[in-house]
Structure 1
């Protein structure tokens, strides 16, 4: 391994620093205990992942990298705890014997955007070729610390956080910092003087950062690499105003490895990658880090101009509806131009074979929804779509967010699940004592009862508010419906509306239960129930 990777590499693991020599000893220790030919790995910590991964390769085992912590019953499974338990001091350790077989293979799962994960075979030789190119192309030196919000279990993280990092000899923070607050705390502890900081991030986290008022600490970051899903250009533009970091979007796939990078708003193909497309505009890729001699045929449709690559959309997102071809990605991009939309996903509703749109409203959209209802939202979207696409959508579902996976992608089955979901506000316990409760909830704009109550002025029906009370006393007080003898009084003073931050207060006496629901500093409803405890 000394011949394949830079021995200047170091690791921040559980708050302390490990050297490359410590790393090799831990790999050797793990490999000695490994008996299985095929293993599955899923870890949260990148250091333990690397130990198990390279330990398996040195042991001539074939590791399967899982996208989620869902092991099969066919192969030995290793997680953070089981890997840690196998690490011990090795008196017989000899680093010169630790040589990687470059022909060794492993299996990595695709992101599952089509609904199903596939295991893709990769070789160590492919990964080292790719890492060598990327390290040189982006001039990544050993005076660098890599922070990451993305998982090493997927190819973007595996390529950059593991192979590029080890090839470049950088300092690797082995945590997965998948919240802005965690990132901020770690960045604050790093000294950026004469030292570079690289962040590996998903577009989802960058979008969250762009909505924050003050992210000055992120100016310590030299470069941000992002991949997994499309980075919105509006997010890039906002971050370019807030921080000085260079943002580099990477385009590639599990099958091909890296293909192109986007620094200035356009993807440019990497020098060693050759691309073309077939008669259906599907991308064909050839590169030194893939074995497919005839090139890999992608599901992405593209336009090519010199080294510039424009991704039009996925081939399986171009459908035929009423004898007319529709590009669902293009349709989504049109809707995203609306001043009331933050995000959108379009799919065919399998129940009716019609197009359905999941809409995530921005602040202006939420205000419009509150004031004029879903009817006005639909009107504005259909006006935009009809004008630019000469087509109308049939079904609309308002949601507070899209069901994106950890890669920022939208699996088809998750979209359909979101369409069919019966969404309700989730009241969370704030305080509880012997005879009182306090709970808070966000009144989700996707709540099922807003679809019919009312289309032009949505509000929470009174019987639903009473249901909030019944659910709370059942969960937190152990009272069943049979314990409620009758409702003595109930009053409704102010409307409870979508996007409200609501609070529910409950007090009990020997045979009475009192409740109040508040929103926007106003009392919305109260009541008194006779109960039998």
Structure 2
């Protein structure tokens, strides 16, 4: 079994012929990475002490940019996305943008000078500020957090001491490296250990299933949002014995969700507790009897102070030691979590624990997950976004959302003052997690914005066969397409139906192509506001055609084929 290679010495110690990743079914070696690092160093205007923003969907392209910056004593600023608002937030604090930003520096230059340049890599000093990551923004504006080279290397050593897993397993992931969990566990740990990783992460469980079936052995790096939605209709039995382990972070898994994923993957689910500020500090495996507690990573300690509980360890900086959760310490190495301590808000002058309200709602048989927040309309109001259980959805169908909300409000009156009872509610099939499995506050707030409604509410989706998906929709009465179509008797236009089919087809099948025409389109029965319909999609990659059909209990509404070139 290979020993860990410190990232500070990675360019010096890893042999050129060593395979490090799979990029579009092609093996990438360390020598290829070295060549690209040299290229970037030759063409970028790098000066010691600079900060550069880095975003790239390909993990290896991303890593080469980091290495190029580090070799020139420059810090890599790693945002969670490359949106316009993110660029605007960073542009005054970085020297430039690298990777998949609209204004990024390009590598399309004359690089003939590289053939004359010999590689002369340096070891990165332990105190060097290697990366700057950002909080998720789940409670406000994302804040920068600097990680030194020592913190990166020391955290990898802690993880390796806990889990000295095989170096022959291929690393699959639903998590992007633009977030600290994916960056550490998917990318950095794989490179330091010498494991082969896929350079692209997978958004859907169907992709993971397909890739895993081609591996002899694999490790899965994922989030609760992905694990609890693994498609149980796939034949997971063919993966028995292949998954060495699955590691999850971003939020705690509920026990039932952990057992569900473990059953499909035929392995235990290991969860990581930590934050962007602290890095990984504890873990748990709920397959053990009554193992809802967390155990500290090697070399991490937990102590109670007047300010709350603090963690100490090689990779935890002094300014980020205090934990933001209510801790019940069981032993020096073990503890339980009881919600966050910093989610106390004031509404109409009354203090409210958002965590307590969420917990009260989740004790109901009707609610699986609830998130509470404060929205500002004419005044500040408490709002709830919730995923309903099967019982909850059944009650909505039997009665109405209004009926269910009234009973949920009644259940809260025993614990909260009347002014704190939520006034606004949104029931969703899936909470709006981002790519990192986090719930940014802006995504929750957006559910209560009075914006134009252009999309159906997706109740669920099913991968029925290799090239077929089925999505169940609720058609909101507020859709902009009903406006003027037709007065006093609104119906859903056919162009909206084909647009939705194209949008969701590209999303679930992950194909590219430009629209070139429609074939055999039929509109047989109108779709009214408030309807529930099923969209069936069948993709034919060789023909470049996407067949669609909208059906409901009333029969077929429309069907056809969308052609792409």
Of 117, 136, 159, 2:161 maps to 136
Q: Closer, same or farther in 2 for the Cα pair 1:464/1:260, shift >3 Å? A: farther
Aligned residue number for residue 244 of structure 1:
266
- What do the CA deviations read for 1:241-277 (whole angstroms, capped 9, x no partner)? 3331221111111221111011133211113112234
* Paired residues of 2:492 and 2:526 also in contact (CA < 8 A): no
Aligned residue number for residue 79 of structure 1:
99
Of 415, 435, 438, 2:444 maps to 415
Q: Closer, same or farther in 2 for the Cα pair 1:6/1:377, shift >3 Å? A: farther
Matches within 5 A, 1:127-526: 127-192=152-217, 197-209=218-230, 212=233, 214-219=235-240, 220-264=242-286, 265-279=292-306, 281=308, 283-292=309-318, 296-306=321-331, 307-320=333-346, 325-351=351-377, 352-386=379-413, 392-421=421-450, 424=453, 426=455, 443-444=473-474, 448=478, 466-469=490-493, 472=496, 497=530, 499-501=532-534, 519-522=552-555
- 1:114 maps onto 2:121 in alignment: no
Measured after TM superposition, the shift of residue 179 of structure 1 is: 1.3
Aligned residue number for residue 71 of structure 2:
58
Q: Structure 1: which 5+ residue stretches go unaligned?
A: 429-439, 450-460, 477-491, 504-516, 526-533
Aligned residue number for residue 10 of structure 1:
20
Measured after TM superposition, the shift of residue 280 of structure 1 is: 6.0
* Paired residues of 2:367 and 2:392 also in contact (CA < 8 A): yes
Structural RMSD (CA): 3.7
TM-score in terms of structure 2 length:
0.73
Measured after TM superposition, the shift of residue 209 of structure 1 is: 0.6
- What do the CA deviations read for 1:479-511 (whole angstroms, capped 9, x no partner)? xxxxxxxxxxxxx999865543379xxxxxxxx
* Paired residues of 1:336 and 1:344 also in contact (CA < 8 A): yes
Measured after TM superposition, the shift of residue 406 of structure 1 is: 2.0
Of 109, 113, 128, 1:104 maps to 128
Q: Structure 2: which 5+ residue stretches go unaligned?
A: 1-8, 287-291, 458-469, 480-484, 501-524, 537-549, 559-565
Measured after TM superposition, the shift of residue 424 of structure 1 is: 4.3
- Structure 1 range deviating more: 38-47 or 82-91: 82-91
- Structure 1 range deviating more: 328-337 or 3-12: 3-12
Measured after TM superposition, the shift of residue 441 of structure 1 is: 8.6
Measured after TM superposition, the shift of residue 217 of structure 1 is: 4.4
* Paired residues of 2:282 and 2:297 also in contact (CA < 8 A): yes
- 1:67 maps onto 2:89 in alignment: no
2: CA distance between counterparts of 1:150 and 1:87? 35
- Structure 1 range deviating more: 262-271 or 417-426: 417-426
Q: Closer, same or farther in 2 for the Cα pair 1:138/1:241, shift >3 Å? A: same
2: CA distance between counterparts of 1:169 and 1:474? 47
Measured after TM superposition, the shift of residue 415 of structure 1 is: 1.6
- Structure 1 range deviating more: 370-379 or 151-160: 370-379
* Paired residues of 2:232 and 2:264 also in contact (CA < 8 A): no
- Structure 1 range deviating more: 309-318 or 222-231: 309-318
